[in-house]
Structure 1
């Protein structure tokens, strides 16, 4: 028995800062050459289904924009299923935590060599690296004042899945929206009494770099998700039910607008 996962990206339309893409999912070149661009192990194990129509590039075009309109890409991390479309947007600045960039460059160990794929970003020329500093966000460390981005968008370091993993928080008129990336994989992990399917639990364990940090950050996110006074909506990168719920809501978000883009799926 198998389940279905998505690669959930966001497109944020800002006032005066162009389009901002949060993660890219798989890119057009991944569709053309999946085994050359990604680890055959993960392509086969995850039964990744790739289609040009599902790439962020085509989704941006379908919304009436040009790839050149995407001026910034903010990454939760550099795993192959989050950064594969970087080269589809050559005009964009790419924002990532410095710790993540350093881990991806070294690629030490069996999992690192397969999760980080330099083929997906070796043509990127405009990187912006950040260290946690400054004012906290609901008790979490944060990175504010991202270069060229409005103050409503910030990084929230959430190490554990990778050591440079981050959430991306967006301050919308309706409240905060937190893309928690791969800090968790299944919506019920955010319940007061959390649960997770055995397969996703095993996959998270396989991919974690620091178990104690990952579980601690899950706990902190869970507390935040269940505190109605904070007005924070949290979602992860791979839960299809969360994606569908956010797509239904996204059409009403103004003036800082966030569109949840459907992406290639795992099965």
Structure 2
């Protein structure tokens, strides 16, 4: 039974935020609250799975949220060419998670059927629900579908030995987390099922939400899937960078070896 190596790769941050941008239930909405942007790499021998793709320079400029590093460049320390990536798990189709699909042209995409239906259906008639999506990214996903390079999942599914996906919903209709077998136990890449440790640890929902009940129940599901709460990796928390040891470059942290310090909110 072989375990996977797991890496968090930071490619951008956004520090001009407050706690009001991160929590619905909070007593200090005006306090600063930074956000980091990640993609994740799973590696076991020659097997490689990329989880999410980040977004590119043009998307960052268009949204006024510039990136620090092109996602392709962020992967360079692993010696992996973007064309060599064959499998990408798309946790959901928001711009900061699927904005780089075109950067990995040979990859087969794994996503929940509910997410594609959501991003291409009548819900997108509403400006608020449409705001985190970009039409070009959705078109890229559809083009990949028509070239036979999308695998849809409906709920829980095994993608490889020791790698499963689980539909959470809440933040987006077909949001999925990724469960990975590591030397430290079962690790869960929450993506935006919990943007921050504080979301799932204190049951404070994130303000961008399609179904609040699904989001709250998703916090429980994350904990049921992980071997320990410290092995739940939130999607945007800068604390990940101090809780886990450094990886092969300054913007990378290695997760599978487990946390090196206690999570303090």
> 2-side partners of 1:159 and 1:120: how far apart?
20
> 2-side partners of 1:10 and 1:58: how far apart?
14
Unaligned 5+ segments in structure 2 are 1-30, 248-252, 259-265
Q: CA RMSD, aligned part only?
A: 2.6
Could you tell me which residue of structure 1 aligns to residue 243 of structure 2? Answer: 245
Instruction: Describe the SS at the equivalent of 1:179.
Output: strand
TM superposition shift of 1:177: 1.2
Could you tell me which residue of structure 1 aligns to residue 233 of structure 2? Answer: 235
> 1-side partners of 2:171 and 2:36: how far apart?
17
Match of 1:14 among 35, 44, 51: 44
TM superposition shift of 1:130: 1.1
Unaligned 5+ segments in structure 1 are 36-42, 133-141, 259-267
TM-score (normalizing by structure 2): 0.71
- Contact 1:73–1:93 under 8 Å retained in 2: yes
Could you tell me which residue of structure 2 aligns to residue 105 of structure 1? Answer: 120
Cα 1:165–1:117 shift into 2, 3 Å: same
| Structure having the larger proportion of residues in strand | 2
> 2-side partners of 1:218 and 1:94: how far apart?
25
| Structure having the larger proportion of residues in helix | 1
TM superposition shift of 1:173: 2.4
Could you tell me which residue of structure 1 aligns to residue 85 of structure 2? Answer: 70
Q: Does 1:118 align with 2:135?
A: yes
Could you tell me which residue of structure 2 aligns to residue 138 of structure 1? Answer: none
TM superposition shift of 1:16: 4.6
Could you tell me which residue of structure 2 aligns to residue 58 of structure 1? Answer: 73
Could you tell me which residue of structure 2 aligns to residue 221 of structure 1? Answer: 222
> 1-side partners of 2:242 and 2:100: how far apart?
22
Match of 2:189 among 169, 172, 179: 179
Could you tell me which residue of structure 2 aligns to residue 49 of structure 1? Answer: 66
TM superposition shift of 1:234: 0.2
Cα 1:245–1:81 shift into 2, 3 Å: same
- Contact 2:188–2:222 under 8 Å retained in 1: no
Instruction: Describe the SS at the equivalent of 1:180.
Output: strand
Instruction: Describe the SS at the equivalent of 1:25.
Output: coil
Could you tell me which residue of structure 2 aligns to residue 208 of structure 1? Answer: 209
